[in-house]
Amino acid sequence: MNLPIKFPSDADVIAEEAARFRALSPEQRMEVIRGVLEAGELLLKQSPQAEFLRAYTLEQEELARKAIKEFIARHGPPVVQ
């Protein structure tokens, strides 16, 4: 289908947003990050699946920690005791 309107690709949109973020001062960047976290917290509080989402997040964080520890044990420097 050939539409007369051209939409930017996802990669172009992401690149533009990244460039806008990089142009911000460190204080402005922190403000943006806090805003995203606050929005996520608000959505989580309003979600009917909030308890499941909290448990799932904790589970994923624990799996990530375990994967990192295993990676370091396999590929990291030997531990001197």
User: Over the stretch 6-47, which tens digit does the pLDDT of each residue have?
Assistant: 888 999 999 999 999 999 999 999 999 999 999 989 998 899
Q: Which two structure tokens, joined as six digits, stand for 27?
A: 């204080």
Angle at 29 between CA 24 and CA 30, to 5 degrees: 155
User: Over the stretch 63-81, which tens digit does the pLDDT of each residue have?
Assistant: 999 999 999 999 988 766 6
Under 8 Å between Cβ of 29 and 20? no
pLDDT of residue 31: 97
